[in-house]
């Protein structure tokens, strides 16, 4: 009796799910994408891997899609959002650090001297990140990020950074999830800087966020367990690090990878080297009017080797100007 | 029209899901657990956090449950399964390493001299693990683990290790998932040693497996991307490391944690320190007849401080002998 009821329920559910899927298919799942080769390839891929009994069918548990963040899901010009955060934090913390007035790279930040800041190079950058991202508990840092994200604005568009996301990519994430994909973010941005807001902004839960990490240390403070963020780099999730992070975190190879720079090249190589259907995509920033136009020579999000390899391997290069009807949400 | 259809479908689906949930509740979800305080607390907790509108309701995305592996989900006596694997690998690789005949800890392994092996201590253990777990690609290692798991047998029960899992825990994992929980494994066992079989054995997908890691390196070999396993420890997922691993991987605090040893103490502390309803449990190995009886003095899975803290804090201590109707599957 119980088995019968269960089977009947399962049958009814399956039927309804199929109807729901058909209804979803009837509408355009990617309304902000212009008709063209990029959109057609995405639609064809998703249809192929979800077609039960088809030669390219992929079981739902293997439908893993990975997305870079900066320049792929949101804007990265004139510089990475996490850098704006670090700079704002230096300014906020400066009263407690009088020594910063004469110490680089802090002096440069406080004086708005971007040239000296750039000259401080990677070492300066790491010093800046450690001074602003470590020394507090994970819970405290999460609140700092949330509070900043709620009030910070992009310097030229004056939008909140969470509104500098790409509308076509929001639709793609949603479309993939509606087709059984698990969507992951894999980017050099610190994992703790992303986790507080990815669910609200992208619909990606914190456990599907992979990124750079600093070391943390468990402590009991008056009997209360805390995790303290230490000024020590643990892992850099960029270039070679992306497949490493994906493997450690997910334990299986994605079937779809979407990036926008040479920092994503190894992730696309790793994804496409698996058996069966694979889709690799690059956002090419070609739209100086609605966003920015840059590729081979950009300081942030350089796309050079990746662009060449995409052409050789036939990866999909999404031309922002041609392929996207709108760029940002609420800007239709 | 489209909206109407969608709403109707959603309504029908919700109704059916509720019916299915009611049908599932009617049957005993934990048939291998004897009636008693442990079972009652588990059932009461799950009912409380899933009761929409109730004061202890927890949204489905926050229903995170973490489980230790060795001694919690499967047996860890007379020693950890991963050690059996390392020893078997040393024997298999010995023909290529004539130097091992005179080199410790390899000599001890090859001569079955467990006393000298134990005397080699943690340093010997690390040497053994590095010699057997590194030096190949991730894909090669996965196959080695799968092949070994398919043929290896426990030395006294002669069962496959994957049949040395605890039937009551399989039911609990399933029961939690049926109630919207995401179930994670968090244990000192290497993540790459667990990921190939956790889905089949526990229903836990590789992306919900957290564990110790060694470093890996991305390489192109004749144009083919591979990840090479390096003989370098990256992270030890034990004691203080468990909350660290949970935070880095999941990015939110679990509401249920289940362990069996002092190695799980910090995970239980971290889990129960969050706001709202929390459940912390220990398996207490009290059954010398059906499994093993050990706690405060065991070399593997010592439960000493944890047992004291569980009593002080009122955590649930599952008494294997009293609380479990059966221990292993197919042994009813």
The kind and range of the H/E element at A271 are helix A265-272
A258-292 tens-digit pLDDT:
999 999 999 999 999 999 999 999 999 999 999 99
Residues of chain B scoring pLDDT < 50: 1-4, 332
B22: which strand partners?
none
Q: Are A72 and A264 in contact (CB under 8 A)?
A: yes
Chain-centre distance of CA A295, in angstroms? 18
- Compare CB distances from B216 to A64, A195, A244 and report the shortest one's residue: A244
Q: Are B165 and B328 in contact (CB under 8 A)?
A: yes
Q: Are A241 and A211 in contact (CB under 8 A)?
A: no
Q: Which position has the token pair 């994957």?
A: B162
From B122's Cα to the closest Cα of chain A, the distance in A is: 22
Q: What percent of chain A has pLDDT over 90?
A: 87
Alpha carbon distance A193, A166 (integer Å): 19
Both structure tokens of B257? 């944690």
B98-148 tens-digit pLDDT:
999 999 999 999 999 989 988 888 899 899 999 999 999 999 999 999 999
Alpha carbon distance A296, A92 (integer Å): 35
From A30's Cα to the closest Cα of chain B, the distance in A is: 16
B216/A191 CB distance under 8 A: no
Chain B window 238-267: which residues touch A at a Cβ cutoff of 8 Å?
240-241, 243-244, 247-252, 266
Contacts (Cβ under 8 Å, ≥6 apart) of A147:
none
How high is the pLDDT of residue A60? Answer: 97
What is chain B's length?
332
Does residue B123 belong to the interface with chain A, where contact is any CB pair within 8 Å?
no
How high is the pLDDT of residue B332? Answer: 45
Both structure tokens of A247? 């493997």
A184-228 tens-digit pLDDT:
999 999 999 999 999 999 999 999 999 999 999 999 999 999 999
CA angle A316, A256, A261 (to 5 degrees): 55
Chain B window 277-316: which residues touch A at a Cβ cutoff of 8 Å?
none
Alpha carbon distance A29, A43 (integer Å): 9
CA distances from B320 to B142, B184, B285, B309 (A): 33, 22, 6, 19
Chain A window 198-227: which residues touch B at a Cβ cutoff of 8 Å?
199, 205-207, 209, 213, 216-218, 220, 224-225, 227
Chain B CB contacts of A138 below 8 Å: 247
B249/A247 CB distance under 8 A: no
Q: Are B211 and B190 in contact (CB under 8 A)?
A: yes
DSSP A55-115: TT---GGG-EEEE--BTTTB---SS-HHHHHHHHHHHHHGGG-GGGGTSTTHHHHHTT-HH
Does residue B18 belong to the interface with chain A, where contact is any CB pair within 8 Å?
no
A309 → chain B, closest CA residue: B223
A243/B251 CB distance under 8 A: no
How high is the pLDDT of residue A118? Answer: 86
- Strand A279-286 versus strand A316-319 pairing type: parallel
How high is the pLDDT of residue A1? Answer: 40
A interface test, pick of B207, B220, B245, B264 with most A CB neighbours within 10 Å? B207
Alpha carbon distance B198, B177 (integer Å): 15
CA distances from A245 to A188, A198, A266, B184 (A): 10, 18, 11, 18
B34-68 tens-digit pLDDT:
999 999 999 999 999 999 999 999 999 999 999 99
What is chain A's length?
332
Does residue B9 belong to the interface with chain A, where contact is any CB pair within 8 Å?
yes
Does residue B28 belong to the interface with chain A, where contact is any CB pair within 8 Å?
no
Longest dimension (CA), chain B: 79
pLDDT averaged per 10 residues, chain A (length 332): 55 64 74 98 98 97 98 96 96 97 96 90 91 97 98 97 98 98 96 97 98 97 96 96 97 97 98 97 98 96 98 98 96 50
pTM of the predicted model as reported, rounded to 2 decimal places: 0.91
ipTM of the assembly? 0.89
B interface test, pick of A7, A17, A220, A225 with most B CB neighbours within 10 Å? A225
Alpha carbon distance A295, A284 (integer Å): 7
3-state secondary structure of B277: coil
Question: What b/e string do you get for B218-251 counting C-beta neighbours within 10 Å, with b at 16 or more?
Answer: beeeeeebbbbbeeeeebebbbbbbbbbbbbbbb
Alpha carbon distance A70, A75 (integer Å): 6
3-state secondary structure of B4: helix
Alpha carbon distance B136, B228 (integer Å): 6
Contacts (Cβ under 8 Å, ≥6 apart) of B31:
B171, B325
A216/B182 CB distance under 8 A: no
Q: Are A272 and A281 in contact (CB under 8 A)?
A: no
Chain-centre distance of CA A102, in angstroms? 36
Cα torsion B22, B23, B24, B26: sign = positive
Does residue A9 belong to the interface with chain B, where contact is any CB pair within 8 Å?
yes
A252/B12 CB distance under 8 A: no
- Compare CB distances from B20 to A9, A244, A270 and report the shortest one's residue: A9
Alpha carbon distance B78, B154 (integer Å): 9
């Amino acid at each position: 009796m119980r088995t019968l009821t269960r089977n009947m329920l399962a049958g009814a559910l399956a039927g309804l799910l199929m109807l729901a899927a058909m209804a979803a298919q009837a509408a355009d799942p990617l309304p902000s994408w212009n008709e063209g080769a990029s959109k057609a390839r995405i639609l064809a891929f998703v249809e192929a891997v979800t077609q039960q009994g088809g030669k390219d069918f992929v079981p739902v548990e293997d439908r893993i899609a990975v997305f870079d963040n900066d320049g792929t899901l949101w804007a990265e010009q004139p510089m990475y959002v996490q850098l704006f955060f670090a700079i704002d934090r230096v300014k906020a913390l400066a009263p407690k650090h009088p020594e910063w007035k004469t110490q680089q790279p802090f002096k440069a930040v406080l004086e708005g001297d971007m040239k000296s800041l750039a000259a401080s190079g990677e070492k300066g950058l790491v010093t800046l990140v450690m001074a602003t991202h470590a020394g507090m508990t994970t819970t405290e840092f999460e609140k700092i990020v949330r509070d900043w994200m709620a009030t910070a604005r992009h310097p030229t568009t004056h939008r909140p950074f969470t509104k500098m996301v790409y509308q076509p990519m929001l639709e793609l994430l949603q479309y993939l999830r509606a087709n059984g994909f698990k969507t992951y973010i894999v980017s050099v941005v610190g994992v703790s800087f992303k986790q507080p807001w990815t669910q609200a902004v992208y619909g990606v839960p914190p456990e599907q966020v992979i990124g750079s990490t600093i070391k943390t240390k468990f402590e009991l403070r008056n009997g209360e367990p805390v995790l303290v963020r230490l000024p020590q780099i643990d892992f850099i999730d960029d270039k070679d690090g992306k497949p490493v992070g994906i493997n450690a975190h997910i334990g299986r190879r994605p079937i779809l990878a979407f990036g926008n720079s040479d920092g994503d090249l190894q992730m696309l190589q790793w994804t496409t080297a698996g058996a069966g259907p694979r889709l690799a995509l690059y956002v090419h920033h070609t739209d100086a009017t609605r966003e920015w136009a840059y590729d081979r020579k950009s300081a942030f999000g350089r796309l050079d080797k990746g662009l060449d390899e995409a052409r050789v391997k036939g990866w999909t290069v999404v031309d922002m100007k041609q392929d996207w009807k709108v760029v940002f949400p609420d800007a239709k």
